[in-house]
């Protein structure tokens, strides 16, 4: 009888330690950069960056986490589609909207095959992941060339891709896929 209760206690202890470890890992992966132990501004910026201080198009940006994810740099206007093995599947330039999402970790919350953007432009392959001050933020591809620039007063959250890049994003970023926004 004493042996059975010892096994139960050992099993419960192991389960509790596993749960605490998992929760710690999840908290670390979703914590803001300034709380996650990521390198600060004085750390070497050579790995994953080009000489001009910008992120390299061909390598996964440092501090963007692990696992399958979309990485979006608001400073570089670039996206990386990163697979489960931490390899870049595709990297491409984008044209941001007038409102940027703050750096952080998000998840794809909704998608639309086709709609009209807040600037009146028809778009396809819309992948949404957050909102800022009531404005939805997401990736999309314009289906037709824009005749004129949007009014400066029009707030847009659409991060525009080429149609080919939009199709790649559509295939990659399904509901629940992580989106990491970095500087």
Residue-wise pLDDT for 105-119, tens only, equals: 999 999 999 999 988
The pLDDT value recorded for residue 149 is 55
The pLDDT value recorded for residue 54 is 76
> Do 172 and 89 meet the contact criterion of CB atoms below 8 Å apart?
yes
The pLDDT value recorded for residue 21 is 38
Residue-wise pLDDT for 43-97, tens only, equals: 333 334 444 447 899 899 999 999 999 999 999 999 999 999 999 999 999 999 9
Q: Quick one: 19 exposed, middle or buried, by C-beta within 10 A (0-12, 13-18, 19+)?
A: exposed
> Do 124 and 140 meet the contact criterion of CB atoms below 8 Å apart?
yes
The pLDDT value recorded for residue 36 is 35
Domain 69-182, CATH class in plain words: mainly beta
The model's pTM is 0.70
* Stretch (H or E) spanning 14: helix 2-30
Instruction: List the chain domain ranges.
Output: 1-30, 69-182
- Say how far apart CA 66 and CA 85 lie, in whole Å: 8
Read off the pLDDT band of 18 (50, 70, 90): very low
Read off the pLDDT band of 145 (50, 70, 90): confident
């Amino acid at each position: 009888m004493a042996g059975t209760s010892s096994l139960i206690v050992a099993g419960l202890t192991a389960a509790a330690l596993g749960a605490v470890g998992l929760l710690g890992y999840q908290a670390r992966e979703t914590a803001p950069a300034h709380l996650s132990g990521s390198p600060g501004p004085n750390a070497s910026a050579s790995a994953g960056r080009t000489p001009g201080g910008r992120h390299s198009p061909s390598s996964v940006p440092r501090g963007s986490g692990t696992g399958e994810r979309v990485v979006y740099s608001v400073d570089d206007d670039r996206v990386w589609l990163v697979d489960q093995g931490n390899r870049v599947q595709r990297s491409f330039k984008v044209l941001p909207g007038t409102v940027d999402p703050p750096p952080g970790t998000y998840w794809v919350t909704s998608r639309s095959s086709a709609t009209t953007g807040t600037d009146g432009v028809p778009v396809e392959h819309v992948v949404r992941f957050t909102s800022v001050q009531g404005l939805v933020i997401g990736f999309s591809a314009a289906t037709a060339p824009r005749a004129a620039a949007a009014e400066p007063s029009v707030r847009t959250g659409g991060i525009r891709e080429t149609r080919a890049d939009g199709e790649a994003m559509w295939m990659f970023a399904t509901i629940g896929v992580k989106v990491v926004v970095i500087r």
